[in-house]
Amino acid sequence: MFDRPESGERAIIVQLDLGYDDIPDRLEEIRLLAASAGATVCAEVSGKRRSPDAATFAGKGKVEEVAAEIGAYDADLVIFNHELSPAQERNLERRLQCRVIDRTSLILDIFALRAQSAEGKLQVELAQLDHLATRLVRGWTHLERQKGGIGLRGPGETQLETDRRLLGKRVKLLRERLSRLERQRGVQRKARVRGESLSVSLVGYTNAGKSTLFNALTHAGAYAADQLFATLDTTSRKVWLGEAGNIVVSDTVGFIRDLPHALVAAFHATLEATAHADVLLHVVDSASPVREEQMREVDKVLKEIGASDVPQLIVLNKLDLTGLPPSVERDEYGRIDRVRVSAKCGDGLPLLREALTEIALEKARSNRVASHSDAEALGDESDDNPGFFL
């Protein structure tokens, strides 16, 4: 392996304008991501390019500017708010003599910090290995040598090929374990369907307040913090709604713009709870100036995991920051479409519970109508078949 400096916490952020119209929002988001990973941002380097440089993404002049900032602040980590190729990452580390990571690596690091359950750790490891597999050829030059020495001579297999094979075996094992957990959840989900419990899944942009709302509804005491990706593992609890009975509410991982596809694939088992829900509570940070864009990003991920057709109830959260009163909005069909609440203060939560009760009762009525129709169909078949009762 070429000499890679040890990773640290004093970081330089690099954000290039490649034609974006939301650079301030992107910078704020990467600052929050860096803070969530435990890094201290010492400086930010920005610039504008028509297209990324093939060798270093940023170009020679900008790399020299980053090197100057590293020397000025004695930084030991450079974070690119972009996706770097393995070659670009290798070239940057050699020229800067500093650890360089891209946006995907940073998110993976945060996921590794947040994973608590055995399944969550398996999913994070799978995503990390998928990402690492693309870095074997370019970043680890020592792996290109063939094994040698007494007791180590093989049939010509290089260390790179050996590591690839071992990595592939580990990935296969992780996928098998996650597949078993997915089948187990399928059995649990069928049991809930038989019990006719309304299944509600909280979705939304990361740090929109999903976990705070989940705790307010269920009193679960789940971890909630002003951090990106504070929640990683899916948590489910029953909520009693009076005449509507029990419903099952699940809190899931938050979404973010440019969420790496490897993460979506690795967390398919977790996100499937969203795809199989009866209704999605789309939690929105109503105080965010880019809330509409964040909602579009969430919808984009929902489409990717096959949940775009699941009915949504928009929950405009953080009214304590906007000063607006709690309220309910209905669509042209008279169904509740949006609810304004403050999960932190509790304002508007009774309205949200009423909305969930209305949805649960409507589902129960639909189930009764469907059962009655099935019974009538069976009756018609028995009339057509004189020997049915013989």
Is 357 labelled as part of a ligand binding site? no
Let me know: does 216 contact 343? Beta carbons within 8 Å.
Answer: yes
The span from the first CA to the last CA of the chain, in angstroms, equals 79
Instruction: Walk across the sheet containing 10-17 and list its strands.
Output: 40-48, 10-17, 77-80, 99-101
Is 62 labelled as part of a ligand binding site? no
Is 36 labelled as part of a ligand binding site? no
Distance CA 83, CA 102 (A): 5
Six-digit token pair at 135? 């870095």
pLDDT digits over 103-160, tens only?
988 888 888 887 777 777 887 788 888 777 776 644 444 444 444 444 444 454 566 6
CA 343 from centroid of its chain's CA atoms: 21
Is 229 labelled as part of a ligand binding site? yes
Is 322 labelled as part of a ligand binding site? no
Q: What is the pLDDT, as a whole number, of residue 148?
A: 46
Domain boundaries, the chain: 10-101, 197-374
User: Which CATH architecture does the domain made up of 197-374 adopt?
Assistant: 3-Layer(aba) Sandwich (3.40)
Is 60 labelled as part of a ligand binding site? no
Is 230 labelled as part of a ligand binding site? yes
pLDDT digits over 86-104, tens only?
899 999 999 999 999 999 8
User: Quick one: pLDDT band at residue 73, thresholds 50, 70, 90?
Assistant: very high
> Region 320-338: what's the mean pLDDT?
91
Is 53 labelled as part of a ligand binding site? no
Q: Which residues of 112-150 are buried (b: 16+ CB within 10 A; e: fewer)?
A: bebbeeebbbbbbbbbbbbbbbeebeebbeebeeeeeee
CA 132 from centroid of its chain's CA atoms: 19
Is 274 labelled as part of a ligand binding site? no
209: left (phi over 0), alpha (psi -120 to 50) or beta: left
Q: Of the given ranges (219-233, 275-289, 339-353), which has the lowest mean pLDDT?
A: 219-233
Q: Does domain 10-101 have CATH number 3.40.640.10?
A: no
Given a cut of 60, is residue 5 above it in pLDDT? no
Is 253 labelled as part of a ligand binding site? yes
Distance CA 222, CA 235 (A): 8
Is 210 labelled as part of a ligand binding site? yes
Is 266 labelled as part of a ligand binding site? no
pLDDT digits over 180-210, tens only?
877 776 666 565 555 567 899 999 998 899 9
Is 61 labelled as part of a ligand binding site? no
Is 14 labelled as part of a ligand binding site? no
Is 207 labelled as part of a ligand binding site? yes
Is 269 labelled as part of a ligand binding site? no
pLDDT digits over 31-60, tens only?
989 988 889 999 999 999 999 999 999 999
DSSP bridge partners of 79: 13, 101
Same fold, 10-101 and 197-374: yes
pTM above 0.95, yes or no: no
> Region 4-21: what's the mean pLDDT?
78
Let me know: does 227 contact 346? Beta carbons within 8 Å.
Answer: no
Is 259 labelled as part of a ligand binding site? no
Is 344 labelled as part of a ligand binding site? yes
Residue 118 corresponds to which amino acid? A
Is 147 labelled as part of a ligand binding site? no
pLDDT digits over 340-369, tens only?
999 999 999 999 999 999 999 988 887 777
Is 204 labelled as part of a ligand binding site? yes
